[in-house]
C-alpha cells in the first residue's frame, strides 16, 4: 500500500489510547516483563516512544522541510529514555506520551505536510537517502511494531502456563 498521511495519522493518533488500554492498572510484573534481559519491557517501550516524540519524528520532518538532505538527521539514541523516566509511574508516562503525541500531530498539521512534499529528500545517518514519506511511514510502522512487541512480551509471560494450548498460540513462537 502506498503511504497515505490520513491513514497514517489514524494509527499515530490512536497509539496512546492503545498503550493506555494495554498498560494502565497493570502490575509491575506485566510492566517490567522482558523477552530477554536486554530487550525492552512494556514500560521501556513507553519511555522509548516518548523519547522519539521529543527527539526524532517531528524534528526530522522539520529538517527535511527546511534543509532537505543537506543536513543528516541526528542519530537516535534508542536508550536515551532510561534516565529521564526513572521513578515515574506508568500513568505519568502514558499521560506524557499522549500529550506529546497530540503536540506532534498538531505540529505536523501546522507544517502543512502534504502529498506534494512526500518525495522531499532527507539523509539518515546510517541508512543514507530517505524521503519524507519514508520517514512518516516508518513512524507509523514503528508504533505498530512496538505495540506488537508489548503484546508479545506480555503473552510470553504465560508461555509455559498455557500447557498444551501452546500449539494454538502462535504469538508465543
pTM (2 d.p.) = 0.95
Query: Tens digit of pLDDT for each residue in 105-163?
Result: 999 999 999 999 999 999 999 999 999 999 999 999 999 999 999 999 999 999 999 99
115: nearest Cα among 1, 3, 12: 3
Query: Tens digit of pLDDT for each residue in 49-105?
Result: 999 999 999 999 999 999 999 999 999 988 888 888 888 999 999 999 999 999 999
Q: Which domain holds residue 64?
A: 5-172
Give the count of domains, the chain.
1
Please give the average per-residue pLDDT across 166-172, as a whole number. Answer: 94
**CATH number of 62's domain:** 1.20.120.450
Look at residue 80 in the predicted model and tell me its pLDDT.
85
Alpha helices in the chain (DSSP H): 5-23, 28-31, 42-55, 57-67, 82-85, 90-110, 132-156
Confidence band (pLDDT; 50, 70, 90) for 173?
A: confident
Q: Which residue has the higher pLDDT, 173 or 61?
A: 61
Which cell goes with 138?
516508518
C-alpha to C-alpha distances, 32 to 29, 42, 89, 154, nearest whole angstrom: 6, 6, 12, 9
Question: How confident is the prediction for the chain on average, in pLDDT?
Answer: 96
Look at residue 155 in the predicted model and tell me its pLDDT.
97
Look at residue 82 in the predicted model and tell me its pLDDT.
85
Please give the average per-residue pLDDT across 27-42, as a whole number. Answer: 95
Q: What string of H, E and C letters represents the secondary structure of 86-120?
A: CCCCHHHHHHHHHHHHHHHHHHHHHCCCCHHHCCC
Q: Which residues pair with 122 in a beta bridge?
A: 130
Amino acid at each position: 500500500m502506498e503511504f497515505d498521511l490520513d491513514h497514517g495519522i489514524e494509527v499515530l493518533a490512536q497509539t496512546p489510547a492503545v498503550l493506555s488500554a494495554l498498560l494502565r492498572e497493570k502490575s509491575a510484573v506485566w510492566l517490567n516483563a522482558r523477552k530477554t534481559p536486554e530487550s525492552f519491557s512494556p514500560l521501556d517501550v513507553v519511555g522509548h516512544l516518548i523519547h522519539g516524540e521529543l527527539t526524532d519524528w517531528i524534528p526530522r520532518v522539520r529538517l527535511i522541510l527546511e534543509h532537505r538532505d543537506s543536513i543528516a538527521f541526528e542519530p537516535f539514541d534508542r536508550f536515551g529514555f532510561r534516565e529521564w523516566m526513572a521513578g515515574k509511574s506508568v500513568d505519568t508516562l502514558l499521560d506524557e506520551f499522549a500529550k506529546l503525541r497530540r503536540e506532534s500531530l498538531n505540529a505536523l498539521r501546522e507544517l502543512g505536510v502534504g502529498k506534494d512534499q512526500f518525495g522531499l529528500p532527507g539523509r539518515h545517518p546510517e541508512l543514507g537517502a530517505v524521503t519524507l514519506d519514508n520517514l512518516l511511514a516508518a513512524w507509523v510502522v514503528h508504533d505498530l511494531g512496538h505495540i506488537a512487541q508489548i503484546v508479545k512480551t506480555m503473552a510470553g509471560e504465560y508461555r509455559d502456563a498455557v500447557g498444551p494450548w501452546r500449539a494454538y498460540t502462535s504469538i508465543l513462537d
